[in-house]
Amino acid sequence: MNSEPMVSHQQSENSQPKKELSPKGVALSEKIIGRIVEVHGPVVDIECLVLPPIHRCLKTYLDHESYVFEVHQHIDEHHLRAIALHSTAGLYRGMDVYDTGCAVSIPVSKKYLGRLVNIFGQPLDGLEPVEPEAYRNIFSDPPPLDITLGPKSILEIGIKVIDLLCPFVKGGKTGLFGGAGVGKTVLMMEFMKAVSLIHHGVSVFAGVGERIREGHELWKEMQKAGVMPQTLMAFGQMDESPGVRFRIGLTALSYAEYFRDSLQTEILFLMDNLFRFVQAGSEVSGLLGRMPAMVGYQPTLLTEVAELQDRIVSTKSGNITAVQAVYVPADDMTDPAVMAILSHLDTVVILSRSQAAKGFYPAIDPLVSTSRIMDKEFLGQRHYAIASEVRKYLSRYKELEDIINLLGMEELSKEDKQIVLRARKIQRYLTQPFFTTASHTGIAGVSVPLADTLDDCEALLNGDYDHLSEDQCYMKGSLKKEFGKK
């Protein structure tokens, strides 16, 4: 069989390697590998003499613009199906397709800090492109087990309710679960601020299926908060191809891995929203003709989530701590996508609509938010004991709420009255003003060290602050610093 690639008659004389046009890509020659035979929305069927491997990056050119495809499926021995990472408007049958010789690769450099980029590492902020130091395959394998590190300590972020009841694992994975409008994005902005100020680390943000309004507001807020110089933001917007929304997380993760290995510092990897990653995978699966599985999700759901999560690891070079916002459809925590994500997490932070309705921000439910390091061996006896006692008081108060609503406080025993009064103060103490919302609320943001949080909670439980009103505990920083002990 002739091993030369097929070419169209019109361009058979131009079968020499084609010079990269735009965007500037990997330093490999591009040779014609086949031609387009069908275009169905973002799905492109390509005829080839020799099939390239799955995930191979292919290109075609129209009016000096490049169109990038990712190989997803081999249909038969001479046809493949690819997903376009651009709009396919203008593409037609018979167009020559070029093989780049590798998977989608992105340019990397330390100078990318402070920049806003797309899936290919091209700037979205209107500034000049960065001169790359190297190129990195977005499908890189996870590091070998012998150089990965397990959790050794908590990552303090200065947010009282999280540091006390559901602490982040340094080098672990945290999920922020909640419906629409309960504060997931605001919390993520505060995490970026905390890592920059407290740990002098680097943040990498992946905007998966972001609305242009949300992306623009987040970018401007990061600039106002002063953390953009230590942050890289990668956006795959809602109006882009499902292939872009499906892979933008890998692009951002590749940058996080590069910064971990080159800067050897604390890396905070944030993704908003992981559910949109699952939705994009479902779209791609449907476009490829796969039969849906559980509740209409793709049959490859568990594998796709695992491929992303298993690369979020810490090594001897540095830590990657991941915080991923997860939209919960209809507030149903038993949704298959939510369950698939839960199995990979070290810390689960549940944002509650009822907490937000009461004005308790951050709207974290302290009774159902958990962390797998909540044990006395990891946290220490004092932290574990105080956290357990706080949960006990809040849980007892929740049990008594119906009685209080029906019969009033007078029907409670003296002991239960004391628990209720202290629990209500603890509820309000666990609220906190944020730096990133100071311009909207008029309340200056605060960061509270874990040691102060433990001292304050211990004092509240012991009754040292019984003389304070509930309002005096609401939206404060450290009570010890503001009031001292009676």
For tokens 């806003």, the residue is: 116
Q: Which amino acid is at 477?
A: G
Strand partners, 174: 323, 347
- The strand pair at 319-327 and 266-272 is best described as parallel
What percent helix, strand, coil does the chain show, rounded to 5? 40, 25, 35
- Per annotation, catalytic residue among 210, 240, 283, 304: 210
Annotation says 184 is catalytic: yes
- Per annotation, catalytic residue among 93, 111, 152, 211: 211
- Is 381 buried (19+), middle (13-18) or exposed (0-12) by CB count in 10 A? exposed
DSSP 44-71: EEEEESSPPPTTEEEEEEETTEEEEEEE
Annotation says 115 is catalytic: no
DSSP state of 207: E
- Per annotation, catalytic residue among 136, 173, 184, 428: 184
* 3-class DSSP assignment, residue 316: coil
Residues 6+ apart with CB under 8 A from 475: 428, 431, 432, 433, 443
DSSP 343-410: TT-SEEEEB-HHHHHTT-SS-B-TTT-EETT-SHHHH-HHHHHHHHHHHHHHHHHHHHHHHHHHH-GG
CA quadruple 357, 362, 367, 369: dihedral sign: positive
CA distance 120 to 476: 43
Longest dimension (CA), the chain: 94
* Distance between start and end Cα atoms, the chain: 90
For residue 211, give Cα distances in angstroms to 89, 155, 197, 204, 237.
Answer: 21, 30, 28, 18, 6
The structure tokens listed for 413 are 């025993």
For residue 311, the tally of other CB atoms under 10 A from its CB is 21
CB-based burial, 232-260: b 16+ in 10 Å, e otherwise:
bbbbbbbebbbbbbbbbbbbbbbbbbbbb
Residue 57 CA from chain centroid, whole number: 25
For residue 473, give Cα distances in angstroms to 84, 113, 134, 425.
Answer: 54, 39, 52, 6
* CA-based nearest residue to 311, from 248, 246, 254: 254
Annotation says 210 is catalytic: yes
CA quadruple 438, 441, 444, 447: dihedral sign: negative
- Residues labelled as active-site residues: 184, 210-211
